[in-house]
Amino acid sequence: MLDGVDDDVFESLVDTVDRFARNRLIPAERTVEQANAVPEEIVAEMRAMGLFGLSTPQEFGGIGVNAAQESRLIEALCYASLSFRSLIGTNVGIGSQGFVMDGTAKQKARWLPGIASGETVASFALTEPDTGSDAGGIRTRARRDGSDYVIDGTKRYITNAVRAGVFTVFARTDPDEAGADGVSAFVVPADTPGITVATPDRKMGQRGTKTSDVIFDGVRLPETAILGGPAMLNRGFRTAMKVLDRGRIHIGAMAVGQGQRMLDIATDYALERSQFGKPIGQHQLVQGLIADSQAELHAMRALVRATAAEYDRDGAAVLGASCTKYFCTEAVGRIADRALQIHGGAGYMCDYDIERLYRDVRLLRIYEGTSQIQQIVIARRTLAGRSH
Ligand code: COS
């Protein structure tokens, strides 16, 4: 059972994040889009609010929310552009949770305080040019050399690599094992010799977020750099899966925040815009678009809350996390499409926020496990008769 923070502290935090998203972040969205960067003063404000340390345990200086609380806070934050969330996303999720779940006491003490304060940005380096969905097939090698390991390989689309102070790098430590069982996770300080971070990728949406290739060329590390220590040799794939499970609930919450935003925008537009002598919101076909989005949003929110509660109760929710990511991210795609449709021709114009939000949410169906990967997890566990 993950306790999280006290109710009154938590409610005031939700209120603070909600106001920050509406009053500070939304007005900055167009600047971020144009500059393809989040202003440094906003990064500093997010640090000061403790957002980088939301999920870091309090003993390491974080706020220490549980999954249910994290999902409500992320929903509130993601009423604004997903680009802001991306800044804290790796520290709250995939970049930190490996340390929290499987790190040694030394690794936690060394890295978690900086991750919590935001001084250290943590990146998760799993994906490669030839390995995305087939995470067990990674080719980056960690070759044993005396008591050291030497990492060679290229990682792709690594979020926040340009800012990273530490990478969790997944590499093959058993060259004779082609699948998941030969993979270990390494804690790699970003200033280790042999690491090159490439120019950030140009993307369809979520401008202001930074993803890049990271090249590891003869990066030498002691065996104590294995996440969880040498006893975790060849156990890194499981760490990655556990981290991604929690991340999938978080992404469901992002979809809820964006879904609410787009429904609100579409509703406002339906009330303002008139055709055939009355506001378009009074036409039943437009009402159908609004009703379908509202119903799906209710289902998404309920699913995120139920799965997060299950996670906090049981310490895992593999089936629920995949159902949540799959349903919520597909549904938010439909909400985006309907919201744009309600705007008519205006929705296709860059002057309207919906055009940008429509592009931004497209990524949710892809990263941290595509919809098709979620279908595989859901079907496998269902066919195996598992309810978790
Ligand atoms: N939690 C803990 N352990 C898990 C797990 C989970 N959620 N999922 C799998 N494992 C364990 C399995 O139990 C198995 O161990 P045992 O052999 O001891 O039972 C091991 O990991 C291998 O699992 P499996 O055989 O299911 O691995 P596959 O290679 O078939 O891969 C999928 C499974 C496809 C689900 C996995 O590769 C995946 O999630 N891919 C998507 C990766 C992704 O999200 N990438 C996004 C980029 S990272 S931001």
- Whose Cα sits closest to atom 19 in ligand 1? 238
How does DSSP classify residue 24?
Answer: I
pLDDT (0 to 100) of residue 358: 98
Segment 361-384, tens digit of pLDDT: 999 999 999 999 999 999 999 999
Instruction: Give the pLDDT of residue 153.
Output: 98
Q: Is the pLDDT of residue 1 over 80?
A: no
Ligand 1 centre distance from Cα of residue 180 (Å): 7
Q: Are residues 307 and 251 in the same domain?
A: yes
Ligand 1, atom nearest to 159 Cα: 49
Q: Which residues line ligand 1 (CB under 6 A)?
A: 94, 124, 126-127, 133-136, 179-180, 237-238, 241-242, 244-245, 318, 367-369, 373, 376-377
- Closest Cα to atom 13, ligand 1: which residue? 238
Q: What pLDDT was estimated at residue 201?
A: 97
Of 238, 239, 367, 382, the residue with max ligand 1 atoms within 8 A of its CB, to mutate for a pocket test, comes to 238
- Residue 237 Cα to ligand 1 midpoint, Å, equals 7
Mean pLDDT of 211-226: 98
2, part of any domain:
no
**CATH code, domain carrying 323:** 1.20.140.10
Look over the chain and give the mean of its residue pLDDT values, rounded to a whole number.
Answer: 97
Q: Whose CA is nearest to atom 44 of ligand 1?
A: 369
Percent residues over pLDDT 90 in the chain: 98
Same domain for 375 and 252:
yes
Residue 218: what pLDDT? 98
Protein residue whose Cα sits closest to atom 26 of ligand 1? 377
Nearest residue (by CA) to ligand 1, atom 28, is 136
Index of the ligand 1 atom closest to the CA of residue 380: 26
222's tokens: 């002691």
Q: Is residue 175 domain-shared with residue 304, that is, in the same domain?
A: no
Euclidean distance between CA atoms 169 and 238, whole angstroms: 13
Residue 202 lies in a domain: yes
* Domain containing residue 100: 7-120
What's the whole-number mean pLDDT along residues 309-336? 98
* Percent of the chain scoring above 70 in pLDDT: 99
State the sign of the Cα–Cα–Cα–Cα dihedral 195, 40, 359, 379.
Answer: positive
Q: Could you tell me if residue 31 is inside a domain? A: yes
Compute the distance from residue 240 Cα to the ligand 1 centre, in Å: 8
> Final residue of a domain: which of 192, 208, 234?
234
The verdict on 374 and 253 lying in the same domain is yes
User: Which stretches within the chain are classed as H helix?
Assistant: 7-19, 26-35, 40-48, 67-77, 82-92, 97-102, 105-117, 236-272, 284-314, 318-342, 353-362, 371-383
Whether 261 and 346 share a structural domain: yes
Best residue for ligand 1 mutational test, from 237, 325, 366 (most atoms within 8 Å of Cβ) = 237
**Could you say which of 191, 214, 234 is where a domain stops?**
234
According to the model, what pLDDT value does residue 350 have? 96
Confidence label for 2 from pLDDT (cuts 50, 70 and 90): low
Report residue 171's pLDDT band, with 50, 70 and 90 as the boundaries: very high
Q: Tell whether 244 and 223 lie within a shared domain.
A: no
Tell how far CA 212 is from the center of its chain.
16
Catalytic residue set: 368
Are residues 47 and 63 in contact, defined by beta-carbon separation less than 8 angstroms? Answer: no
388 has pLDDT over 90 = no
- Contact status, residue 97 vs residue 243, Cβ threshold 8 Å: yes
Residue with CA closest to ligand 1 atom 5: 241
**238 CA to centre of ligand 1 in angstroms:** 7
Q: Are residues 263 and 303 in the same domain?
A: yes
Q: Are residues 230 and 275 in the same domain?
A: no
For the domain that residue 144 is a member of, what is the CATH number?
2.40.110.10
Are residue 38 and residue 111 in the same domain, yes or no? Answer: yes
Reported as a pLDDT band with limits 50, 70 and 90, residue 229 is very high
Task: Report the C-alpha gap between 349 and 205 in whole angstroms.
Answer: 15
Quote the ligand 1 centre to 94 CA distance (angstroms): 15
Residues 168 and 250 in one domain: no
Average pLDDT of the residues in 348-357: 97
Which ligand 1 atom is at minimum distance from the Cα of 132? 45
Mean pLDDT of 38-67: 97
Q: Is residue 174 part of a domain?
A: yes
Residue 4 has what pLDDT? 87
Indicate whether 113 belongs to any domain: yes
- Domain end (from 234, 262, 277): 234
Q: What token pair was written down for 144?
A: 């044993």
pLDDT band at 387 (very low <50, low <70, confident <90, very high): confident
- Same domain? For 242 and 221 the reply is no
Give yes or no for residue 264 having a pLDDT over 70. Answer: yes
User: Within this chain, do residues 88 and 103 fall inside the same structural domain, yes or no?
Assistant: yes
Domain count, the chain: 3
- Over the stretch 105-153, which tens digit does the pLDDT of each residue have? 999 999 999 999 999 999 999 999 999 999 999 999 999 999 999 999 9
Domain assignment present for residue 226? The answer is yes
**349 Cα–ligand 1 center, Å:** 41
Q: DSSP per residue over 196-262, as a string? A: EEPPPPP-SS-BTB-EEEEEEEEEEEEGGGBTT-GGGTT-HHHHHHHHHHHHHHHHHHHHHHHHHHH
CATH number for the domain spanning 13: value is 1.10.540.10
pLDDT of amino acid 100: 97
Residue 29 — very low, low, confident or very high, per pLDDT cuts 50/70/90? very high
Probe residue for ligand 1, chosen from 174, 239, 241, 376 as the CB with the greatest number of ligand atoms within 8 Å? 241
Mean pLDDT of 313-330: 97
Q: How far is CA 251 from CA 31, 188, 255, in A?
A: 24, 26, 6
- Please report whether residue 1 resides in a domain: no
Q: Which ligand 1 atom is at minimum distance from the Cα of 247?
A: 49
- Report the pLDDT value the prediction gives residue 240, as an integer from 0 to 100: 97
| Domain annotation covers residue 292 | yes
